[in-house]
Amino acid sequence: MTPELTYVAWTALMLVLLWIPYIAGTVSRNGLLTPAEYKTPLERDEPDWLRRCNRAHLNLVENFAPFAALTIIAHITDQVTATTATAAAVFFWARLAHAVAYIMGIPFLRTILFSTGVVSTLIIGFEVIT
Protein backbone atom coordinates (compact mmCIF):
# COMPACT_ATOMS: atom_id res chain seq x y z
CA MET A 1 0.00 0.00 0.00
CA THR A 2 1.27 3.46 -0.86
CA PRO A 3 1.92 6.03 1.86
CA GLU A 4 -0.98 8.08 0.50
CA LEU A 5 -3.46 5.22 0.94
CA THR A 6 -2.05 4.49 4.37
CA TYR A 7 -2.91 8.05 5.40
CA VAL A 8 -6.38 7.71 3.89
CA ALA A 9 -6.87 4.59 6.04
CA TRP A 10 -5.53 6.30 9.18
CA THR A 11 -7.75 9.32 8.55
CA ALA A 12 -10.79 7.06 8.10
CA LEU A 13 -10.00 5.38 11.43
CA MET A 14 -9.60 8.78 13.07
CA LEU A 15 -12.97 9.76 11.65
CA VAL A 16 -14.62 6.72 13.24
CA LEU A 17 -12.88 7.24 16.58
CA LEU A 18 -13.59 10.98 16.73
CA TRP A 19 -17.29 10.21 16.96
CA ILE A 20 -16.89 8.22 20.19
CA PRO A 21 -16.18 11.04 22.71
CA TYR A 22 -19.26 12.96 21.62
CA ILE A 23 -21.59 9.99 21.84
CA ALA A 24 -20.10 8.74 25.11
CA GLY A 25 -20.28 12.22 26.63
CA THR A 26 -23.86 12.77 25.50
CA VAL A 27 -25.07 9.39 26.75
CA SER A 28 -23.27 9.70 30.08
CA ARG A 29 -24.69 13.19 30.60
CA ASN A 30 -28.24 12.73 29.28
CA GLY A 31 -28.83 9.00 28.99
CA LEU A 32 -29.93 7.06 25.92
CA LEU A 33 -32.47 8.51 23.52
CA THR A 34 -36.08 7.61 24.15
CA PRO A 35 -38.17 6.22 21.26
CA ALA A 36 -39.89 9.60 20.90
CA GLU A 37 -36.53 11.37 20.63
CA TYR A 38 -35.63 9.32 17.57
CA LYS A 39 -38.50 11.05 15.74
CA THR A 40 -38.00 14.52 17.19
CA PRO A 41 -34.71 15.00 19.06
CA LEU A 42 -34.93 17.24 22.10
CA GLU A 43 -32.40 19.96 22.74
CA ARG A 44 -30.02 18.37 25.21
CA ASP A 45 -27.94 20.18 27.78
CA GLU A 46 -24.34 19.78 26.64
CA PRO A 47 -21.19 21.56 27.74
CA ASP A 48 -19.26 23.48 25.12
CA TRP A 49 -16.45 20.92 24.88
CA LEU A 50 -19.01 18.25 23.97
CA ARG A 51 -20.47 20.42 21.22
CA ARG A 52 -16.94 21.03 19.95
CA CYS A 53 -16.39 17.24 19.82
CA ASN A 54 -19.39 16.96 17.54
CA ARG A 55 -18.25 19.87 15.35
CA ALA A 56 -14.71 18.49 15.08
CA HIS A 57 -16.14 15.19 13.85
CA LEU A 58 -18.50 16.85 11.37
CA ASN A 59 -15.71 19.08 10.10
CA LEU A 60 -13.53 16.05 9.38
CA VAL A 61 -16.46 14.34 7.63
CA GLU A 62 -16.72 17.34 5.31
CA ASN A 63 -13.00 17.40 4.55
CA PHE A 64 -12.37 13.67 4.31
CA ALA A 65 -14.32 13.14 1.07
CA PRO A 66 -12.23 15.42 -1.18
CA PHE A 67 -8.99 14.29 0.44
CA ALA A 68 -9.82 10.61 0.02
CA ALA A 69 -11.21 11.02 -3.50
CA LEU A 70 -8.19 12.92 -4.80
CA THR A 71 -5.75 10.60 -3.06
CA ILE A 72 -7.45 7.52 -4.49
CA ILE A 73 -7.51 9.12 -7.96
CA ALA A 74 -3.78 9.82 -7.64
CA HIS A 75 -3.22 6.18 -6.71
CA ILE A 76 -5.40 4.73 -9.48
CA THR A 77 -3.85 6.94 -12.15
CA ASP A 78 -0.34 6.24 -10.84
CA GLN A 79 0.31 9.88 -10.08
CA VAL A 80 1.68 9.31 -6.61
CA THR A 81 4.83 11.28 -5.97
CA ALA A 82 6.89 12.43 -3.04
CA THR A 83 4.71 15.54 -3.08
CA THR A 84 1.44 13.59 -2.79
CA ALA A 85 2.92 11.39 -0.05
CA THR A 86 4.04 14.44 1.92
CA ALA A 87 0.70 16.21 1.39
CA ALA A 88 -1.21 13.14 2.61
CA ALA A 89 0.97 12.94 5.73
CA VAL A 90 0.57 16.66 6.40
CA PHE A 91 -3.21 16.35 5.93
CA PHE A 92 -3.45 13.52 8.48
CA TRP A 93 -1.31 15.16 11.16
CA ALA A 94 -2.90 18.58 10.64
CA ARG A 95 -6.37 17.07 10.96
CA LEU A 96 -5.41 15.14 14.09
CA ALA A 97 -4.03 18.31 15.66
CA HIS A 98 -7.09 20.22 14.42
CA ALA A 99 -9.41 17.84 16.27
CA VAL A 100 -7.45 18.31 19.48
CA ALA A 101 -7.35 22.10 19.08
CA TYR A 102 -11.05 22.23 18.22
CA ILE A 103 -12.10 20.15 21.23
CA MET A 104 -9.84 22.20 23.52
CA GLY A 105 -11.29 25.42 22.09
CA ILE A 106 -8.08 26.95 20.73
CA PRO A 107 -9.45 29.25 18.00
CA PHE A 108 -6.50 30.53 15.95
CA LEU A 109 -4.52 27.30 16.03
CA ARG A 110 -7.65 25.46 14.91
CA THR A 111 -7.96 27.76 11.89
CA ILE A 112 -4.30 27.34 10.92
CA LEU A 113 -4.55 23.55 11.15
CA PHE A 114 -7.79 23.49 9.17
CA SER A 115 -6.19 25.62 6.46
CA THR A 116 -3.14 23.35 6.40
CA GLY A 117 -5.40 20.37 5.71
CA VAL A 118 -7.20 22.21 2.91
CA VAL A 119 -3.92 23.25 1.28
CA SER A 120 -2.67 19.66 1.50
CA THR A 121 -5.79 18.46 -0.30
CA LEU A 122 -5.34 21.15 -2.95
CA ILE A 123 -1.73 20.06 -3.48
CA ILE A 124 -2.85 16.48 -4.10
CA GLY A 125 -5.53 17.77 -6.46
CA PHE A 126 -3.00 19.89 -8.33
CA GLU A 127 -0.73 16.86 -8.73
CA VAL A 128 -3.63 14.83 -10.11
CA ILE A 129 -4.76 17.49 -12.57
CA THR A 130 -1.33 18.46 -13.89
Question: In whole angstroms, what separates CA 49 from the centre of its chain?
Answer: 17
pLDDT of 40 strictly over 80: no
- The residue extents of the domains of the chain are 3-129
Could you tell me the fold of the domain covering 3-129?
A: Four Helix Bundle (Hemerythrin (Met), subunit A) (1.20.120)
Question: 3-state SS string over the chain?
Answer: CCHHHHHHHHHHHHHHHHHHHHHHHHHHHHCCCCHHHHHCCCCCCCCHHHHHHHHHHHHHHHHHHHHHHHHHHHHHCCCCCHHHHHHHHHHHHHHHHHHHHHHHCCHHHHHHHHHHHHHHHHHHHHHHHC
pTM of the model: 0.90
pLDDT band of 41, cuts 50, 70, 90: low
pLDDT of 46 strictly over 90: no
In this prediction, residue 111 carries a pLDDT of: 96
Give the number of residues written for the chain.
Answer: 130
pLDDT of 89 strictly over 90: yes
pLDDT of 118 strictly over 90: yes
Give the whole-angstrom CA distance, residue 112 versus residue 76: 30
